[in-house]
Structure 1
Amino acid sequence: MTFDFWETLFMDTPELDRRRDELRCQGLQENQSTPWLANIWKKGEQVWTLEQIRYIVNHATKNRPIPLTDPEVLMRLEESYWSPSLTAPATLNADAPKVLQRLSERGLKIGLICNTGRGPGHALRELMRREGVLDYFDATIFSDEVGYGKPDTRIFLTTAKMLGLQPRDILHVGDNIENDVRGAQRAGMKTLLFDYEVPSGFRGQPS
């Protein structure tokens, strides 16, 4: 059995989302000493973590590339970017621990399939550890770590391989019709739509 992360295992709010954006802007400004980064981020342009940082910095300097080659500077920038995932974290679904415990007691293999966006896999995995649910999972697959995300069938097939199961033997649970249901079905999995009304105010409202 596999689960989606956002709005399935962990629940988010527009307020927390905005707070993380504020913290990212603040951290990037402090570490790169440019006042334009906050305005650039508000455009909502998204790519993967270090690429996002380079993209934002280049836009902030009117597309004149700044060589970000100092490992220490890159480390500080990256930490400023992902740390809000832990300082203003999403909330664990209150029913998740007991559901995961019951599945584990039945001997079922459990996987997580997550599109990361602005919160990289290592930060979200740490959030799961802090909430006491990481050890229930036999595989945790994050899009920034494998290079592709839902609804790409490869992320579902990669998860099945890591679990040692055939896709037809896996039930995937998630809240997004396109990413979780149709994507998993195209990979050959069974699906269960987590019928959750996403709070209004998010930039990307799931179907």
Structure 2
Amino acid sequence: MHRDLHAVTFDCWGTLIYEPKREQGALARREIFRKCLQQHGVEVTEERASDALREVWLRHWREWQAGISSDATDMAGWGLEAFGIHERAAVERLGCELAEASLEQEVRALDGARETLEQLARREIRRALICDTGYSPGRVVRQLLQREGLLEFLEVLIFSNEAGVPKPNPRIFQAALDPLGVGPEQALHVGDLRRSDIAGAHGMGMRSVRIRWQNDDTSDLPDAHAVVDSHAQLRELLHLDGS
């Protein structure tokens, strides 16, 4: 796995960082959404607001499945249009607030993630991030990575809301490899989802590792070349620990 390895690309959520209390983010966005509706004369219950945002997320998920990138502004628009609100300024304002809600939530680096990046950097193995975005766009995720001390080790950062396509589209993987100056056969991708991370890497001719630290993807899609439960196991697999 480690032979002729010149670059490692990483998924973001569930691979490098995670939200220990996801429900808090959902509640915060619900209140942001309700407040926006109230400002436009629409009163809804907490349950109705939650249902509306659930439908919004399902639409985002369906678009992701179809290979279409959507972001917080798109989702804000879908949520507001369900209540007859189409004002562009309102959509953009709500999109910004929904996106930045992540900055107020608890986000942590996975145990050992920084050590993995440090060891790769020490061995001059190139490092990139390939991140599918939802409510949190690239500009927000960059801040979260910096806050957790990971940003400095990532040489290239590619986000679906900026690249225009999500994983497993080969364009988003190529966008990460090109600036690194390495070919797919020299690179390894680490992620937690078979459909996007593993299928995308294999479609490019890259090696792959699935990490199931937070999420164990048990779908019947083809699995990675190797599966690990932690960054410690990943470093062992890549022979990174030690001198």
TM over 0.5: yes
Write out aligned runs for 1:134-153 (5 A): 134-153=151-170
Q: Unaligned stretches of 5+ in structure 1?
A: 200-204
How far apart, CA to CA, are the structure 2 residues paired with 1:183 and 1:37? 35
Aligned-residue CA RMSD in angstroms? 2.0
Structure 2 match to 1:21: 26
What does residue range 53-202 of structure 1 map to in structure 2 within 5 Å? Answer: 53-61=76-84, 66-70=85-89, 73-196=90-213, 198=215
Task: Tell me, yes or no, if structure 1 residue 2 matches structure 2 residue 19.
Answer: no
Q: CA deviation at 1:26?
A: 0.8
What SS does the aligned partner of 1:89 have? coil
Q: TM-score w.r.t. structure 2 length?
A: 0.73
Cα 1:206–1:78, aligned 2, differ >3 Å: closer, same or farther? Answer: farther
Match of 2:155, as an amino acid? D
| Cα contact 2:19–2:107 (8 A) shared by 1 | yes
Distance 1:152 1:180 in 2: 10
Give the count of matched residue pairs: 194
**Any idea what SS the aligned residue of 2:142 has?**
helix
Q: 1 CA distance for matches of 2:192 and 2:122?
A: 25
Fraction of identical pairs, as percent = 27
Rg (Cα) greater in structure: 2
TM superposition shift of 1:19 = 1.6
Match of 1:42 in 2: 54
TM-score by length of 1: 0.85
| Residues 81-90 or 97-106, more deviating | 81-90
The residue matched to 1:192 in structure 2 has which SS?
A: strand
